[in-house]
Amino acid sequence: MSNFTFACASVNGLTLAQKRETIKALRASIKEQVAANKVAKIAAKEAKVAARAEKAVARAAKKAARIAALEAKLNALKNPVGSKAIKAAKKAKTIKVVKGVEACSAYLQAA
């Protein structure tokens, strides 16, 4: 972009040819500035689109990680020993997890 300087401080002191040259120079300067603004706008728009795409990828990855964690938790709760172990881990006192009727009756008789 070029900065145009007038030949004198006032346009009134210019000849007709100088006024025409001034107008040509101003039009060229305006044209350059409009083109530069257009390029800057396009670059900003592309950056915004790229940022949106990046956010969408991050959001999808976070969603997939959350789904995987919840599925793992659900599978742990479906297994009866797993659910008791989870409950035992949450409680302050110690709980012995036994499997099957025979083990349960043997544990109760030993106590």
What is the structure's pLDDT at 104?
A: 61
What is the structure's pLDDT at 39?
A: 97
Round the average pLDDT of the chain to a whole number and report it. 81
E runs forming strands in 9-108: none
What is the structure's pLDDT at 67?
A: 95
The pTM for the full model equals 0.47
Per the document, the length of the chain is 111
DSSP state of 91: S
Mean pLDDT, residues 76-80 taken together? 73
What is d(CA 105, CA 50) in angstroms, rounded to the nearest whole number? Answer: 64
pLDDT at 63 over 90: yes
What single-letter amino acid sits at 7? A
Higher pLDDT, 79 or 40: 40
